[in-house]
Structure 1
Amino acid sequence: MASESVQEPSKVDPSSYTMKEVYAAIPPHCFQRNTLLSLAYVLRDFTFVFILGYIAIFHIPSIQNQTLSTLAWTAYSFCQGLVFTGLWELAHECGHGALSKSKWINNAMGLVMHSFLLVPYYSWRLTHSTHHKTTNNIEKDIAFVPQIKEDYIEERAARGKFMKTMELAQDMPILALLELVGHQLVAFPTYLLINNFALPRMAAIPWWKRSHFYIGGDGPNFKPRSTREIIVSDIGIAVAVSALWIAVQFYGGWNVMKVYGFAYLWTNHWILTITFLQHTDFSLPYYSSKSWTFLRGAGSAVDRDFGFIDRFLFHGAISTHVLHHHVARIPFYHAAEASKAMQGVMGKEYRSDFKTPYLWAFWKIRSTARYVEEVDKGSEIYFFSRSKVTCT
């Protein structure tokens, strides 16, 4: 069912299906993880990285025309960013144990791939697990948690003239675009550093204790028993950053930026876009702890279409995310088949929007979905409002 034909908020009922029915509907072979096949995809994506890197290092510099050279570097960073994002998704598979039956292989490959992309593997895996266990629970989820209308109004009133300026900027497309570009460049590293996606709930906690790199054991995200894993993640990032620093010493900062840095920024953009659109839509309900259930949360995602890029490079992460929140250990190469089988069980509770162009959906939703509110008072079920609140 397309997202634009989703039930009215006041008609959101308890889930009409069970996880037992989901498991029964999915063909048994879809649950099988083929280590060799998974590693072949990892090898394929790293091969793409090296081929593109080889072209960038040994061929693009020989282009004499400045305009053509700039276009070539731009095309390279865009394409390499797509491949990096595919590797990111494979590392994400590792975090769910979906790459292999072997826990050691999952963790080793996940650590390598995520560290390569400057993501702390174990700590991100732990916070991401929290997201899966609390999806669209506005009191407990940690990914793209929307503000309730009353909190939204209160924050803007408290910030006065600044928020008035921001509202004016949001109404001017060029300024809104500049704000969006800035967000896409820095928001994901900022999230890793200070875990700000669940603010204001965590606002009273010092930023370093919210960080994915914090090893103190008394922060909100990790228990003391996870400290060793966090240290391993931090070591992985330290190794990757050291490698980049050495490369800068030998080849110069601008060259490293062209070969790795811009592709890395593209990757941040795609990860933010993908995750935002997976869990943000005017059709999606958000719940308080009182109204939330696992199935309600798992069903509060939207499958979308990004064509060849999603199917071939992003490993289907965009088009099969509803399935992923029900059964995360199904490997990506079985996800399309399993998703189709699961849709028969979910019926009208399955949400998708395969009609709206992907990037257009991102622009429209991000520029208009600003807060959620109860449509049916007392239900503790919230939807994004299309109404605009103006600061006075």
Structure 2
Amino acid sequence: MACTSANSLLQLKCSSSHQTPLLNSRRNISAGSFNLKGGGLIHKGFVYRSQRQFIPRSKVGVIRAVAIPLEPAPVESAEYRKELAERYGFNQIGEPLPDTVTLKDVITSLPKKVFEIDDVKAWKTVLISATSYALGLLMISKAPWYLLPLAWAWTGTAVTGFFVIGHDCAHKSFSTNKLVEDIVGTLAFLPLIYPYEPWRFKHDKHHAKTNMLKEDTAWQPVWKDEFESNPLLRKAIINGYGPLRCWMSIAHWLVVHFDLTKFRPNEVKRVKISLACVFAFIAIGWPLIIYKTGIMGWIKFWLMPWLGYHFWMSTFTMVHHTAPHIPFKYSEEWNAAQAQLNGTVHCAYPQWIEILCHDINVHIPHHISPKIPSYNLRAAHKSLQENWGKYLNEASWNWRLMKTILTVCHVYDKEQNYVSFDEVAPEESGSIKFLKKVMPDYA
């Protein structure tokens, strides 16, 4: 099983002429000195039999035996991790991070310069996004119908850059002037009709509780009891976490960010201001677009790029934290350093996407410390590779990676991390089986 602790494996060889193995099975056995007594394993004065019975030391005879440790458990094996990486579409699956390593240890290993805010670099990202977005709108206005999908892809990616700018503002890594950050963040989110403050409050919790069951506000595995509760809901979940998953952030945007009851009393005032800005943009911006270009113009110039943005919003988020070997854990088992360093994925995309989206997919250092500005993420990642490289999960975007996430990472399972829908409900998971057949498997 990936990313869970395997049981110890011992092989005990008798010193008789036949050297018959007396025990060759997986057991939860404490570390220490062991001897074999009367067919059982003695540790701290007791005999451990395969039937899990404990017998006092005084009632057994002694035979000579030697305990020989075999290979490490698969999760600790470099060869097994390499096999998993190939299977899942990763370049590297990191070693498990020791429990003794703290998030502070990782943060203090980073150069201080990666935390420095540079106003020139910050406003350069605004210039890149504004220019690329304007170019995208021009392309949409001039492109023949058969080139519109390319224009929409460019414009949707460009407007994702606005989201990343607002994302830096929310983390207080855009400017030393906090009022400027709030204004820029609110304005950057407006073309996406995304309320800045509600998103900021929920996103802060995602960083504080990354991959924590029931607490992380980004992706969560599907709960089996919820999945089995209602046939209609089950069908919606299968399609939502399968073929429609690259647009599931739309549901998250709608359900989470506009409901005042989901926020603490001290947050509600700022939430209302953000909602007022969004509704003002809808009330003024949409009629202007329709007045100038008609309903089809609204679809061409706003809706299709917006859907392109949500494609990246969904895809980036699920790739950052979702893989068969990356566990979600309950709060009592959760470890901050493991979740942020071991549970976050660095994924390299084509260069034009990296530029337009301001390196947001250099994501591990961002989870080590969200105070690192987007333009310093690559330098921070280089430092992490030098100091913690063997623990990192790294990939370059490929079809096998996407196919793994869309067809495997579904229902929460403590032992396996995830169980796919077609294992839990094979008769109703036709869309998942279809994806397994038609999606390319190139890595």
Does the alignment pair 1:388 with 2:411? Answer: no
Give the deviation of 1:127 after TM superposition: 0.3
Does the alignment pair 1:309 with 2:316? Answer: no
2:252 alignment partner in structure 1: 191
Q: Percent identity?
A: 20
Alignment of 1:84-123 (within 5 A): 84-123=159-198
Bigger proportion of residues as helix: 1
Deviations 1:349-373 (A, max 9, x none): 322223xx43441233112211232
Give the deviation of 1:19 after TM superposition: 3.3
Contact 1:214/1:230, CA 8 A, preserved across alignment: no
Aligned equivalents of 2:241, 2:185: Cα separation in 1 = 33
1:198 alignment partner in structure 2: none
Contact 2:121/2:375, CA 8 A, preserved across alignment: no
TM-score normalised according to structure 2 size: 0.69
Give the deviation of 1:157 after TM superposition: 3.8
2:259 alignment partner in structure 1: 214
SS at match of 2:172: coil
Contact 1:115/1:236, CA 8 A, preserved across alignment: yes
Deviations 1:210-231 (A, max 9, x none): xx1234xxx24x2111122111
Does the alignment pair 1:81 with 2:156? Answer: yes
Deviations 1:7-57 (A, max 9, x none): 79xxx5653433343233222211111112211210221012112223433
Alignment of 1:119-198 (within 5 A): 119-147=194-222, 151-152=223-224, 154-160=225-231, 163=234, 180-181=243-244, 183-185=245-247, 187-195=248-256
Aligned residue among 260, 265, 282 for 2:324: 282
SS at match of 1:286: coil
Aligned equivalents of 1:81, 1:41: Cα separation in 2 = 16
Does the alignment pair 1:365 with 2:405? Answer: yes
Alignment of 1:10-21 (within 5 A): 14-21=98-105
SS at match of 2:229: helix
Aligned equivalents of 1:22, 1:14: Cα separation in 2 = 12
Partner amino acid, structure 1, of 2:423: K
Contact 2:140/2:152, CA 8 A, preserved across alignment: no
Give the deviation of 1:391 after TM superposition: 6.0
Give the deviation of 1:156 after TM superposition: 4.2
Partner amino acid, structure 1, of 2:417: F
Contact 2:324/2:409, CA 8 A, preserved across alignment: yes
TM-score normalised according to structure 1 size: 0.78
| Greater relative contact order (Cα < 8 A, sep 6+) | 1
1:203 alignment partner in structure 2: none
Give the deviation of 1:135 after TM superposition: 0.6
Change (3 A) 1:29 1:250: same
1:248 alignment partner in structure 2: 290
Give the deviation of 1:233 after TM superposition: 0.8
Structure 2: give runs of 5+ residues left out of the alignment: 1-80, 86-91, 428-443
- CA-based RMSD: 2.7
Change (3 A) 1:230 1:388: same
Deviations 1:314-333 (A, max 9, x none): 21112x21111111111111
2:267 alignment partner in structure 1: 226
Aligned equivalents of 2:130, 2:175: Cα separation in 1 = 18
Aligned equivalents of 1:391, 1:283: Cα separation in 2 = 23
Deviations 1:222-262 (A, max 9, x none): 21111221111112211221211232134211112111210
Aligned residue among 40, 53, 65 for 2:137: 53
Structure whose alpha-carbon radius of gyration is higher:
2
Partner amino acid, structure 2, of 1:225: N
Change (3 A) 1:214 1:340: same
2:336 alignment partner in structure 1: 294
Aligned equivalents of 2:302, 2:252: Cα separation in 1 = 21
Does the alignment pair 1:44 with 2:131? Answer: no
2:36 alignment partner in structure 1: none
Contact 2:195/2:274, CA 8 A, preserved across alignment: yes
Change (3 A) 1:391 1:359: closer
1:273 alignment partner in structure 2: 315
Aligned equivalents of 2:164, 2:233: Cα separation in 1 = 37
SS at match of 1:304: strand
SS at match of 2:212: coil
Aligned equivalents of 2:139, 2:93: Cα separation in 1 = 47
Change (3 A) 1:239 1:359: farther
Does the alignment pair 1:27 with 2:127? Answer: no
Contact 2:320/2:345, CA 8 A, preserved across alignment: yes
